[in-house]
Amino acid sequence: MIQAVRGSIPKEDLGITMSHEHLIIDLRDVRKDNESYISDVDVVCEELKTIKELGVKSIVELSTIDMHRDVKKLLEISNRMDMHIVCATGYYLQEYHSKWLLEASIEDICEVFRHEITIGIDDTEIKAGVIGEIASGYDGIRENEKKVLIAAARVSKETGCAISTHCDHGRYGEEQVEILLNEGLNPDSVIIGHMDLLLDLDYHVRILKQGVNIAFDTVSKTSYQSDEDRAKQLKQLLDLGYEDHIVLSQDVSRKSYLVSEGRLGYTPVMCYFVDLLKLEGVSEQQLEKLLIHNPARILDF
Ligand SMILES: [Zn+2]
């Protein structure tokens, strides 16, 4: 079953899924601006209408505890939109870590993840269905980030719950995989995130060879890569046989990405990226894997 905010659902019900998004997010503790702050349920519901019409049924919401994740708001959005939302337990980059987290043991962190996956979050019965987005920094994996990665791996091994990660600018994915797999978890429970920020085919293949999954989850962030280049590289990975191990998304994390701010919000994958992939020769069956079957298999536990 897949643990969504309205309760467990069979994996067949997940449907087209955006695998790395933020609906309610607050990064002001570190960024000190109003940009990385999305809090209005009405605004988010309006933003989701278009992708719902385009067939998206589910969203993996990877806001962490230290991004001020708000599961009550996520439940309200899920109910109002009649879409599945899988919420997360996890901690983000080290600069976001609280004093408690900096001093916590790996077992202390495991206890938080375990509680949120099996009992509930913030005094609700809403359970996390994924551990994420577990992050590492631009210049490497810092000490406290390593602690969180190890805790995530241990609880994933114990519960079967998937892990989804943040590789800053796409970097240090191999090191994340090494730390995670070292704990003996199922590699297929791992999604290494933001791989489309660093379009290096050999790097992606080295990661995929470990049996984990990767995310092309920053579609439309063209300041890093053009979407045409994303599509070309994705096709190469499919040609190498990795169609069962890639998922897609946009990672909306700032107000300025929203349709209400004149941008494309949560729509790029469905509105044009799928067409770019078809132009590259990606088949309907392969698209169904990227959008439906891969997230469903990985999130099922
Ligand atoms: Zn994210």
What would the pLDDT profile of 21-46 be if each residue is shown by its tens digit? 999 999 999 999 989 999 999 999 99
Interval between CA 64 and ligand 1 midpoint (Å):
9
Residue 261 neighbours by CB distance under 10 Å = 13
**Is residue 10 classed exposed, middle or buried when 0-12, 13-18 and 19+ CB atoms within 10 A define those classes?**
exposed
Question: In this structure, what CATH number is given to the domain that contains residue 144?
Answer: 3.20.20.140
Percent of the chain with pLDDT over 90: 99
Domain count of the chain? 1
Interval between CA 262 and ligand 1 midpoint (Å):
21
Interval between CA 197 and ligand 1 midpoint (Å):
12
Interval between CA 251 and ligand 1 midpoint (Å):
5
Per-residue pLDDT band at 247 (split at 50, 70, 90): very high
Interval between CA 137 and ligand 1 midpoint (Å):
13
Span 139-162, pLDDT tens digits: 999 999 999 999 999 999 999 999
Domain span including residue 161: 2-299
Residue that has been written with the tokens 């439940």 in this structure? 75
Q: What is the pLDDT of residue 182?
A: 98
- Whether 215 and 187 have beta carbons less than 8 Å apart is answered as no
